[in-house]
Structure 1
């Protein structure tokens, strides 16, 4: 499986690991009175530039250029129009880069450069930060600097006002991964002295390291099992269900490990939860709640918790501003943001239908299943079905190509989403009659 090897040989974790000691160094320097606020912004920006060059090579220009253009838009446009233009520019630039990947994969039939894939991933995270900041300015949560920039000021004053924006868009702890950090939180950490640099709990960082090590060891074992068995092209009947479940488990383990590493780098740099704040509070949202993701029997809850900060960003950016079919629009935009590969379009639209079905199924189950044994049986069956549907969606999104998607579609695995589609149709019709 070439696509499987491409996914698991991704070197982002190596670069994130290399950034970890510099994150600790930044946190240490912040305790020095001589380390000014401007020096902190420059340190984060210089670290982002160095990390971009190391991980992306010449493709780093594809991230730096839109960051510069985004800062120019943020500093020149008014609060009411900045979000629209920043969103259109950023998504247009990202879409053009994704078209380059489509051209390489589907027209030239060549494997894409790993550095280019890292660049696209970083560009997607940059889109999150640009649109989050532009929304903050539009909603009045962040004071716009456009008036100050337009006034007659020296070049150094202009650069001083633009530096926090540019540093936020390219600061190295979040350049290659990590939960979305708002500009208010970023600015408060950089400008504050005591809140930015709390004494790290050695136990907390050690526990994250133990979790990452355990996930990596488990991933090696699962990968050997998947590699030794049949693939989707060779499996027969119910064997395909096991292949799908095991392969999706391998994807999830990789995501969990990477998210924990990204979170550790942010925590080491001082951008983790502050004292007295739990990880679930408004200001800090970790991406991986492994226990909830692996035990929930609700697809809707899995959707809200999977890559939690991105889910909240999509809800704020699309769902809350959509008047017609907000759920479908949110998942359609997610497919666009990911690159509009065939498997991604199918997978995200299927995911939207599954979430809609989950709401109706759970509502009717809560209404009609009253006994304790019945509820236990329902939760058990719903949990198994949820895990299999999520595995189906995950494979569709990750394999991306039409040929691999066809292998998945014609296997026995398609029974699981079809069951939810039938239940959605029947329960929606019954709900309409009841109303």
Structure 2
């Protein structure tokens, strides 16, 4: 249970909750004609700077520096050249910070400070915004600032032009969490006409607050069960399956609660689904689709719905850009983005194999299972197997270290991914013979 303790000491939620009144204040100030566009950008940027310093302390410089460098790059490079340098710079910076974490954890054998862990989480979110913005510029969805500002303009005009981009990268509702908000949505919200706070928005936030309360209450119960039971190191035979399921359930409840809080903070600041109509796109995509995640019998669907905005970002950044092995490259990059801890590398590679097996197994079943009673039984068994495989992957990713990973490998829980690997090999070989 030692590797669970840091995860459940949850200062990020406290800082997100403290930022909530300021998000509501920003929404209220947007109704005032005296609150200009520049003032809105500055309010969001100043709030992000203050929140970063409060949550990260001196480590906030590790977030400020790449944000400033990104703004310099997008103002210096052409639209077709901006994506690759910004991507390489941001991922190099983030990787160096993750290597610092590896050095502390594995070489010095020291627990990293909570502020440094919050900084790394914020850096990962910054990477999403940086690459999303650079892709938008390259694809022409956002007008490149380098093409709008003559070199002879004054410093104040350059700073004024850079303000929207720096504000987007550091605005406080999305600094420590939250679904990925595109630059177009951000710009429309800040520069567009203010909309009246609707009754629907109030009830949507109230409903999310009730959901968070319910999840936190359920988490207390599950945590008590996990805390009093055996761990992976002391469980015996089939007991390990219950330990796997309950511990992963505790992680999932924590993630669901985080995602709902992050989504509520963005919506409280006005970056909600109502902007989708003005942008001609869907509303803000929430990270938690709890009903689908807990009822699906497809691992592939679970992968698309787990942390939805990140899944969509990975699909756009990696999957759609690769011609060979796009699925594998997407999960490998996800392991890199998360920090390349041993458990993360194993977990994401296992997830890639499980998704591939999911496609093959269900394609085979759809052809050979026709009667509805058998199909119903198949779906029930597939649902149970899917949930246990996902639980196995979650524990692998969260365990991170080799010692915790060995406990997972040696438990009875390893039978579930092994079954899917075996079926993948058998059915792929059968498909090859048929072809």
**TM-score above 0.5:** yes
Q: What's the offset of the Cα at 1:272?
A: 1.1
Q: Deviations over 1:75-112 (max 9, x none)?
A: 11011110000000000000000000000000000111
Partners of 1:17 and 1:327 in 2: how far apart? 36
Structure 2, unmatched stretches of 5+, are none
Partners of 1:405 and 1:10 in 2: how far apart? 24
1:200–1:268 contact (8 Å) kept in structure 2? no
1:305–1:311 contact (8 Å) kept in structure 2? yes
Please name the residue that 1:215 is paired with.
215
Q: What is the SS of the residue equivalent to 2:148?
A: helix
Q: What's the offset of the Cα at 1:26?
A: 0.1
User: Would you say 1:368 and 2:373 are equivalent positions?
Assistant: no
Please name the residue that 2:387 is paired with.
387
Please name the residue that 1:236 is paired with.
236
Q: What's the offset of the Cα at 1:201?
A: 2.7
Q: Deviations over 1:374-417 (max 9, x none)?
A: 11001000000000000000000001000000000011010000
Please name the residue that 1:86 is paired with.
86
| Pairs within 5 Å for 1:309-388 | 309-388=309-388
Structure 1 residues 54 and 124, CA gap change in structure 2 (3 angstroms)? same
Q: What is the SS of the residue equivalent to 1:201?
A: helix
2:273–2:282 contact (8 Å) kept in structure 1? no
Q: What's the offset of the Cα at 1:323?
A: 1.1
1:189–1:195 contact (8 Å) kept in structure 2? no
Structure 1 residues 63 and 197, CA gap change in structure 2 (3 angstroms)? farther
Q: What's the offset of the Cα at 1:47?
A: 0.3
Q: What's the offset of the Cα at 1:149?
A: 3.7
Partners of 2:359 and 2:148 in 1: how far apart? 49
Q: What's the offset of the Cα at 1:150?
A: 4.8
User: Would you say 1:166 and 2:166 are equivalent positions?
Assistant: yes
2:275–2:283 contact (8 Å) kept in structure 1? no
Q: What's the offset of the Cα at 1:276?
A: 8.0
Partners of 1:434 and 1:128 in 2: how far apart? 43
Please name the residue that 1:224 is paired with.
224
1:297–1:382 contact (8 Å) kept in structure 2? yes
Q: What's the offset of the Cα at 1:371?
A: 0.3
2:256–2:288 contact (8 Å) kept in structure 1? yes
1:41–1:163 contact (8 Å) kept in structure 2? yes
Q: What's the offset of the Cα at 1:147?
A: 2.6
1:195–1:274 contact (8 Å) kept in structure 2? no
Q: What is the SS of the residue equivalent to 2:406?
A: helix
Partners of 2:157 and 2:274 in 1: how far apart? 32
Q: What's the offset of the Cα at 1:433?
A: 1.6
1:198–1:270 contact (8 Å) kept in structure 2? no
Partners of 1:257 and 1:293 in 2: how far apart? 14
Partners of 1:307 and 1:405 in 2: how far apart? 23
Q: What's the offset of the Cα at 1:205?
A: 1.2
Partners of 2:215 and 2:27 in 1: how far apart? 27
With 423-432 and 396-405 compared, the bigger mean Cα shift is at 423-432
Partners of 2:164 and 2:213 in 1: how far apart? 35
Q: CA RMSD in A?
A: 1.5
With 149-158 and 76-85 compared, the bigger mean Cα shift is at 149-158
Structure 1 residues 308 and 276, CA gap change in structure 2 (3 angstroms)? closer
Please name the residue that 2:97 is paired with.
97
Please name the residue that 1:124 is paired with.
124
Structure 1, unmatched stretches of 5+, are none
Partners of 1:195 and 1:370 in 2: how far apart? 52
1:343–1:400 contact (8 Å) kept in structure 2? yes
2:300–2:359 contact (8 Å) kept in structure 1? yes
2:56–2:118 contact (8 Å) kept in structure 1? yes
Partners of 1:149 and 1:168 in 2: how far apart? 19
Partners of 1:421 and 1:33 in 2: how far apart? 61
1:188–1:196 contact (8 Å) kept in structure 2? no
Partners of 2:23 and 2:200 in 1: how far apart? 12
**Number of equivalences:** 434
**TM-score, normalised on structure 1?**
0.98
Q: What's the offset of the Cα at 1:198?
A: 5.2
**TM-score, normalised on structure 2?**
0.98
Q: What's the offset of the Cα at 1:282?
A: 2.8
Please name the residue that 2:21 is paired with.
21
